[in-house]
Amino acid sequence: MRPITPVQIVIGGCLLAFGASFLNTGFLLSTGASVSHLTGDIARIGSGLSNLGSSSGSHIFNVTSAALGFITGAIISGFLLHHPTVEISKPYGRILSVLGICLLISYATYSSAPVLSITIASAVCGAQNALASRYRGVVLRTTHLTGLFTDFGIHLGMKLRGHTVEGWKLLIPICLTCSFLVGAVISSAVALNALGNWLLLAGIGYLLGGMAWSFYKRTRSE
C-alpha cells in the first residue's frame, strides 16, 4: 500500500479544518461555547468561577462540558489509534464515519439536552484533533489555529535564515487557515440566514467524508 503523500495531507487537513470550523462556529453563535479548542473555554471557566452568583455564571456549565468533551475525545482517539503519526493503514474512514454519527446524535439532543450536545460535539473535535498529529516532522492540528501560526512562523524563520524547508511545510498552515476561515464564513451564513441546520449538515458531512475515505483507501489497496 502506497504511503500518504503531502498533497493528500494538505487536502485531507483542509477538509477536516473546514469541518471543525463549521461545527465550532455554529456552537459559538448558538451557545457561546467553543467545541474545537480549549483556550477560550478555560478562560470562560475561570471567569465563571469568579462570578458564580451572576447571570453569566450559568455559562460555566456549557464551557466546562465542552472542555471535558474535547479531552475525552482525544483520549478515545489515542486509545483507538495508539500513535499519532499519519499512516494510511489506520481506520481513519471508519472513525470519521463514527464521528459523523456522533454529530447526528448531538443534533438529535441539541434541543432537549444542549449540554450533552455540546459535550458530544467537543468530543468529536478532540478525537479529530488527535487522529493524526504528526507527519514527517510537522505537527498537524485541524481544530484550531494557534499551533498552525506557530509552525508557520518557525518554518518561515528557518527558511529566511537559510535552512532547507520543504515548501509543503509552509503550505499546510496557510491552506488549513484558509479552510478554517471558509468554514466559519459558510457556517455563519447557514446559521444566520436559516439556510439549514448547521449541526445536521456537519454530521452528514463527516459521515459521508468517512465513507468516501474508506472507499478511496480500498481502491488504493487493490
The CATH number of whichever domain residue 26 belongs to comes to: 1.20.1250
Using the predicted structure, report yes or no on whether residue 206 has a pLDDT greater than 80: yes
Residue 197 in domain? yes
Residue 1 in domain? no
The Cα 132–Cα 148 span in angstroms is: 14
DSSP track, 67-82: HHHHHHHHHHHHHHHS
Instruction: Look up the domain containing 210 and give its range.
Output: 6-221
- Residue 113's pLDDT band, with cuts at 50, 70 and 90, is very high
Number of domains in the chain: 1
Residue 74 in domain? yes
First to last CA, the chain: 9
Residue 163 in domain? yes
Are 77 and 124 in contact, with CB atoms under 8 Å apart?
Answer: no
Residue 79 in domain? yes
pLDDT for the residue numbered 52:
55
Residue 195 in domain? yes
- The partner residues of 85 in beta bridges, in order of sequence, read 134
Q: How far is CA 58 from the centre of its chain?
A: 26
How confident is the model over 131-174, as pLDDT tens digits? 766 666 666 778 888 877 888 888 889 888 888 888 777 888 88
Question: What predicted TM-score, i.e. pTM, was given to this entire model?
Answer: 0.85
